[in-house]
């Protein structure tokens, strides 16, 4: 399918061919007929992307500070690679579309194939021939509403939410400052609600259009105060809705002058908000900022997981605002056709962005993109004829298929695959297809797909790399092994005891000819880790190890905190550090005790101290903290045993102490956590039919230990860790 994407590094918007996304649980696959270009939000994104690196830095000093902090922690080379990788990610533009449902995901109710729907949401209702849209961001459209009108629904819901916040009454006098697309929709909504509407703008053409949309009067900015007094008989407006898009503070000053005593001022557009105290104090005005298109916006449980708010308690959610806007269209009380100034086919969609950024020097308002409507089955895989940096496959090299192309994949794994070589880069698959296409093109893969099954069933693929969200790992590992593929899985192995048991049962039946499995516990392969191993080689006493992790704060709403998706931070990331303790001691832990700080509504079981005991008497303490500052180094390991001490600081500095002698090692420019060495070890095992780089008993034990750690934290009791049944 064709999709419009924005390159954040060079600012180019282009239409590219990407795989059609696959319906996920609770969402529908929608064939898009029409989408609306947001002249405000999307223009800001494009203009930021077009800035030079210096311009980007000047406009986002907060991001510059983050980069500088990262450079201090991890080294300049590591930071530069990470920053450029972020900038190189394509951004899907758009958030307001309309089309027809062509497939539904598991668990989706109330939506059927063939339904005509309006769609909302950044990352969902994008400028593409097909969209995957969750249930609460869909609303049905009746037959008497055309797709072009319905494509205005998201922006209409934004206007409607701002209008509702003003709590207008029948006959209220309402002023609308800023008569762009959002303001003109607000004019139409206020008129339909029985209000007397007064419009204000700098552009005479938009002033005239406001009258066509239902304003009783509309004037240019210089006339606003005098005309407003006349319109309200000197009393002032009951509500002033600011729909302008400007950094200027003039709209908020004008709103104060226009409003009546105890009136309402609602900022719907992005404007300066330095409130002049005198006029707002004297009139005792109420000021409110409208947040997008209603309750539910930015709430992942509502937007992504489909949990609606009770109707009796939250009357107007974003979904209900969308439905109400469509009802206005269907009733004929609102007509958006006068707002349409330009139409582009998807093939010419990049021209729309030349228009809204002023490159074509034409006035515009409603800009629509249209899409061909065909009954042809959507393609799940796209062959890349000339992938950038691709090499001719060498005979005998195993084929690699990759599931997932998130930040870890593009910032760490795929660059290593490209540098190491030794495999045929066959295909990358992601649910959306967009990130798969970009990553495949950038790292020299032959094709991109949105279908997991295509990779599993492809005889040209012998290795599957699993880089998806945590809840998918166990299922995809088992599927890969069942299809005879070697499997490399980015941690964790699994997130539930049942998944661990199932994987262990499969591994119990493997032998030297079976496919190999490895989890990306990379730290044990780091150069400094090998130095530590040599330093303690031949030890005769137990170890005492303290591993401190300054993990950084993640909100409770983040997917990794969700037990169903990420498993929580201890299972999802803490397994890395539990593996490191296991590797240092040389055997799995047998029990764990846990104590944590109170969550206080801010944290989620991610300020904890875990103490693991081992069969040889060793103790490993993991202090995992989310309450620190990310400017401080992330990891520090201190190891004591038999008169020897090793201190590893963030995999950039190592100090070894023995018999009063200190040896120091340092990596100033970069940080090496063993990702490349771990991948090379896995390839060596696959190509040479050698034993897996990490024994299966340790993969199972570490995963069980992370799950037991969470149980110990919740129960307050020490937990025994079930020993693996398989003997290596």
Domain ranges of the chain: 2-151+302-370, 171-289, 396-519, 526-670+693-720
Residue 285 near residue 256 (C-beta atoms within 8 A): yes
- Report d(CA 416, CA 408) in Å as an integer: 11
- Report d(CA 331, CA 378) in Å as an integer: 35
Q: Give the model's pLDDT for residue 389.
A: 35
Write out pLDDT tens, residues 84-126: 555 566 778 899 999 999 999 999 999 999 999 999 998 899 9
Write out pLDDT tens, residues 204-214: 999 999 999 99
- Report d(CA 399, CA 419) in Å as an integer: 16
pLDDT of residue 520 exceeding 70, the answer is: yes
- Kindly report the average pLDDT of the chain as a whole number: 91
Q: Give the model's pLDDT for residue 64.
A: 53
- Report d(CA 651, CA 674) in Å as an integer: 9
Range list of H helices, 75-180: 76-87, 147-150, 153-165
392 confidence band (pLDDT: 50, 70, 90): very low
Q: Give the model's pLDDT for residue 552.
A: 95
Write out pLDDT tens, residues 635-655: 999 999 999 999 999 999 999
- Report d(CA 413, CA 418) in Å as an integer: 9
Q: Give the model's pLDDT for residue 154.
A: 96
- What are the residues whose beta carbons fall under 8 Å from the beta carbon of 77, sequence distance 6 or more? 669, 670
Task: Rank 121-125, 268-272, 298-302, 583-587 by mean pLDDT and report only the highest.
Answer: 583-587
Task: Rank 6-15, 64-73, 623-632 by mean pLDDT and report only the highest.
Answer: 623-632
The SS3 assignment for 662 reads strand
- The separation between the first and the last C-alpha atoms of the chain, rounded to the nearest angstrom, is 48
Write out pLDDT tens, residues 189-206: 999 999 999 999 999 999
Interval 31-54 mean pLDDT:
72
Q: Which helix (H) or strand (E) holds 590?
A: strand 589-596
Class of domain 2-151+302-370: alpha beta
Write out pLDDT tens, residues 369-379: 999 988 766 77
Interval 5-16 mean pLDDT:
78
Q: Which two tokens stand for residue 665?
A: 């090692």
- What beta strand segments (E) does 619-682 contain? 619-625, 635-641, 644-649, 653-658, 661-666
- What are the residues whose beta carbons fall under 8 Å from the beta carbon of 567, sequence distance 6 or more? 470, 471, 492, 495, 496, 560
- Report d(CA 446, CA 561) in Å as an integer: 35
Write out pLDDT tens, residues 235-260: 999 999 999 989 899 999 999 999 99
CATH superfamily of 171-289: NAD(P)-binding Rossmann-like Domain (3.40.50.720)
Residue 695 φ then ψ, to 5°: -55, 140
Q: Could you say which DSSP state residue 411 is in?
A: I
Burial, 597: exposed, middle or buried (Cβ in 10 Å; 0-12, 13-18, 19+)?
Answer: middle
Identify the sign of the CA torsion 384, 385, 386, 390: positive
Write out pLDDT tens, residues 406-451: 989 999 999 999 999 999 999 999 988 888 999 999 999 999 999 9
Fold of 396-519: Rossmann fold (3.40.50)
- Report d(CA 625, CA 637) in Å as an integer: 14
Other C-beta atoms within 10 Å of 593: how many? 17
Q: Which helix (H) or strand (E) holds 465?
A: strand 463-466
The SS3 assignment for 403 reads strand
Q: Give the model's pLDDT for residue 527.
A: 97
pLDDT of residue 390 exceeding 60, the answer is: no
Q: One fold for both 171-289 and 526-670+693-720?
A: no
* Of 264, 294, 248, the residue nearest 155 (C-alpha): 294
Q: Compute the chain's Rg from CA coordinates.
A: 29
Residue 267 near residue 290 (C-beta atoms within 8 A): yes
Q: Give the model's pLDDT for residue 391.
A: 34
- Report d(CA 582, CA 699) in Å as an integer: 10
Assigned architecture for domain 526-670+693-720: 2-Layer Sandwich (3.30)
Q: Omega of the bond prior to 103 within 30 degrees of 0, cis?
A: no
Interval 543-562 mean pLDDT:
95
- What are the residues whose beta carbons fall under 8 Å from the beta carbon of 235, sequence distance 6 or more? 260
* Of 285, 286, 248, the residue nearest 269 (C-alpha): 248
Torsion of CA 428, 432, 435, 438, to 10 degrees: 80
Interval 652-672 mean pLDDT:
93
- Report d(CA 150, CA 96) in Å as an integer: 9
Interval 9-19 mean pLDDT:
81
165 φψ region: left (φ > 0), alpha (ψ -120 to 50), beta (else)? alpha
pTM over 0.85: no
* Of 348, 333, 349, the residue nearest 149 (C-alpha): 333
């Amino acid at each position: 399918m064709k999709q419009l994407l924005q390159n954040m590094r060079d600012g180019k918007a282009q239409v590219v061919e990407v795989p059609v996304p696959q319906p996920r649980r609770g969402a529908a696959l929608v064939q898009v007929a029409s989408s609306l270009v947001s002249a405000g939000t999307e223009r800001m994104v494009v203009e930021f992307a077009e800035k030079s690196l210096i311009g980007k830095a000047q406009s986002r000093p907060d991001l510059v500070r983050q980069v500088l902090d990262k450079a201090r922690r991890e080294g300049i080379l590591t930071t530069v690679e990470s920053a450029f990788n972020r900038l190189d990610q394509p951004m899907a533009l758009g958030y307001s579309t309309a089309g027809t449902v062509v497939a539904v995901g598991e668990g989706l109710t109330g939506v059927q194939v063939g339904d005509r729907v309006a769609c909302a949401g950044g990352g969902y209702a994008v400028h593409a021939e097909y969209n995957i849209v969750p249930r609460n961001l869909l609303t049905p459209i009746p037959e008497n509403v055309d797709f072009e009108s319905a494509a205005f629904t998201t922006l209409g819901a934004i206007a409607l939410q701002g209008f509702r916040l003003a709590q207008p009454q029948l006959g209220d006098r309402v002023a609308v400052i800023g008569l762009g697309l959002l303001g003109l929709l607000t004019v139409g909504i206020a008129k339909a609600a029985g209000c007397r509407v007064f419009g204000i703008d700098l552009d005479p053409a938009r002033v005239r259009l406001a009258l066509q949309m239902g304003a009783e009067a509309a004037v240019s900015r210089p006339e606003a105060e005098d005309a407003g007094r006349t319109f309200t008989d000197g009393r002032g407006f009951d509500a002033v809705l600011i729909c302008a898009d400007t950094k200027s503070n003039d709209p908020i000053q004008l709103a104060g002058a226009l409003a009546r005593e105890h009136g309402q001022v609602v900022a719907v557009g992005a404007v300066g908000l330095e409130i002049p105290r005198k006029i707002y104090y004297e009139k005792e005005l109420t000021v409110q900022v409208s947040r997008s298109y209603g309750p539910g916006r930015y709430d992942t449980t509502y937007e992504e997981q489909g949990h609606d708010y009770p109707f009796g308690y939250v009357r107007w959610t974003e979904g209900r605002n969308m439905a109400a806007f469509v009802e206005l269209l269907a009733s004929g009380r609102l007509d958006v056709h006068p707002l349409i100034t330009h139409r582009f086919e998807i093939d010419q969609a990049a021209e729309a962005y030349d228009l809204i950024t002023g490159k074509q020097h034409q006035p515009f308002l409603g800009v629509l993109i249209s899409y061909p409507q065909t009954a042809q089955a959507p393609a799940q895989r796209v062959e890349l004829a000339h992938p950038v940096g691709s090499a001719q496959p060498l005979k005998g090299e195993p084929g690699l298929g990759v599931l997932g192309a998130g930040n870890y994949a593009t910032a760490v794994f795929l660059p290593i695959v490209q540098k190491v070589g030794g495999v045929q880069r066959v295909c990358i698959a992601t649910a959306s297809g967009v990130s798969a296409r970009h990553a495949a093109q950038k790292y020299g893969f032959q094709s991109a797909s949105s279908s997991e099954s295509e990779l599993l069933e492809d005889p040209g693929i012998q290795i599957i790399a699993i880089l998806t969200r945590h809840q998918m790992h166990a299922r995809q590992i088992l599927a890969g092994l069942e299809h005879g593929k070697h499997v490399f899985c980015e941690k964790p192995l699994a997130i539930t005891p049942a998944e661990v048991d199932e994987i262990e049962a499969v591994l119990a039946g493997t032998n030297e000819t079976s496919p190999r499995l490895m989890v990306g516990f990379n730290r044990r392969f780091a150069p400094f880790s090998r130095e530590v191993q040599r330093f303690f080689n031949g030890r005769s006493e137990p170890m005492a190890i303290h591993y401190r992790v300054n993990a950084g704060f993640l909100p409770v709403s983040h997917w990794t905190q969700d037990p169903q998706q990420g498993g929580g931070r201890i299972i999802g990331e803490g397994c890395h550090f539990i593996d490191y303790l296991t590797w240092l001691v040389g055997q799995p832990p047998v029990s764990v005790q846990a104590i944590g700080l109170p969550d206080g509504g801010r944290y989620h079981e991610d300020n904890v101290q875990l103490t693991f005991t081992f069969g040889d008497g060793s103790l490993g303490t993991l202090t995992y903290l989310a309450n620190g500052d990310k400017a401080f180094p992330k990891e520090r390991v201190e190891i004591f045993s038999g008169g020897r001490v090793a201190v590893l600081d963030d995999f950039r500095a190592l100090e070894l102490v023995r018999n009063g002698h200190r040896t120091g090692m340092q990596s100033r420019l970069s940080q090496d956590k063993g990702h490349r060495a771990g991948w090379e070890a896995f390839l060596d095992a696959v190509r040479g039919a050698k034993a897996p780089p990490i024994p299966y008993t340790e993969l199972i034990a570490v995963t069980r230990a992370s799950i037991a750690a969470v149980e110990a934290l919740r129960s307050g009791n020490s937990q025994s860790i079930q020993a693996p049944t398989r003997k290596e």
